[in-house]
Amino acid sequence: MKILVTGAAGFIGSFTAKKLLDLGNTVVGVDNLNDYYDVSLKQARLANLKPYSNFTFLKLDLSDRSATESLFRKEAFDKIIHLAAQAGVRYSIDHPHAYVESNLVGFINVLEGARYQWCNKDNSKNVAGHFIYASSSSVYGLNKHMPFNTKQAVDHPISLYAATKKSNELMAHAYSYLYNIPTTGLRFFTVYGPWGRPDMAYFKFVRSIINNEPIDIYNEGKMKRDFTYIDDVVDSLIKISEVSPSKITDWNRINPDSSNSSAPYRVYNIGGSNPVGLMEFVNAIEMALDKKAKINFLPMQSGDVEETWADNNDLANVIGDIKTTALKNGIAKFVEWYRGYKI
């Protein structure tokens, strides 16, 4: 297949592109290579993909409507895996417009590209395509019922980042309903591993501990996260991308299930389904480094939630067994990579 992977220089995007290439697909990767974090890391990820003859990279800002339209006029895709986004919860507090441009404008431009390629002029579905996109566990916001289930309403985000991801799900549903385009949203839970994002806590912790600097622990350490290793994320993503959602003809409009629809639309959690306390997480890093951390306890940050925990039952019902990597093993692999590639 010929597959578009947006955000191909990103953490999840680069791993996804590599897996698709290894499976024999033709991949067109796009990324704007913005400087939210060190561009050299993004370029190094791309360097891992460039040896593949079935890979093409285009530097492109998807919020540029004209450039995005040109891409879809020149290329024909069997699937779109849309992972490009402005990431980060706390960054959205001070830089809201970056999230609107990337996560909303960019998203609608890619959706329009899918409609252009896969629908007739009367907007009826013509070509079999599948639009898979990144949502986030942050959409659960103020929800307290654990584990987080995709059937729950997610109407109370506590960051603009989360609000844009919830908006993506709504936009995707509208296009699924109006144009019969199969869309699948994936709510990722705290993805970590080698080649990860330097703004993530585990990356900062490892760097600080190695440099004998204190690490900041928020909410006095009374937090839990459903950490999910990158290989496990990509394994689930590839498998679910091969299952194009169909309409549910008897979908209950009186008591609607928010994870599916009478349109060809689905939303799934992708998480480890094993929440770990923040201090336990720090301990795993200390063990991998064989070095104790200096800790600076701080109050809760705006936009953060105390706990995340993925209910993966819907996903398992579709793809079968879900690959899971033990935290200590995943952290050890990250530390090994970090020692050989320091930012």
Write down all domains in the chain, each with its CATH number in brackets: 2-192+229-273+310-324 (3.40.50.720)
Structural tokens at position 24: 């024999």
pLDDT tens track for 130-150: 999 999 999 999 999 999 999
175 is a catalytic site residue: no
Sheet of 55-59, strand order? 55-59, 26-31, 2-6, 79-82, 130-136, 183-188, 265-270
CA-closest candidate to residue 31, choices 66, 56, 1, 2: 56
pLDDT of res. 286: 97
Q: Does the pLDDT value for residue 234 go beyond 80?
A: yes
Structural tokens at position 227: 């950490």
Q: What are phi and psi of 82, to 5 degrees?
A: -95, 100
pLDDT of res. 123: 67
**Which phi-psi region, left, alpha or beta, contains residue 223 (left: φ > 0; alpha: ψ -120 to 50)?**
beta
Q: Report the percent of the chain where pLDDT is more than 90.
A: 91
Query: Could you tell me the pTM of the whole model?
Result: 0.95
From the candidates 36, 91, 99, 161, give the one annotated as an active-site residue: 161
pLDDT of res. 341: 87
pLDDT of res. 226: 96
pLDDT of res. 126: 64
Give Cα separations from 246 to 126, 130, 176, 180, 342 (angstroms): 15, 11, 10, 9, 45
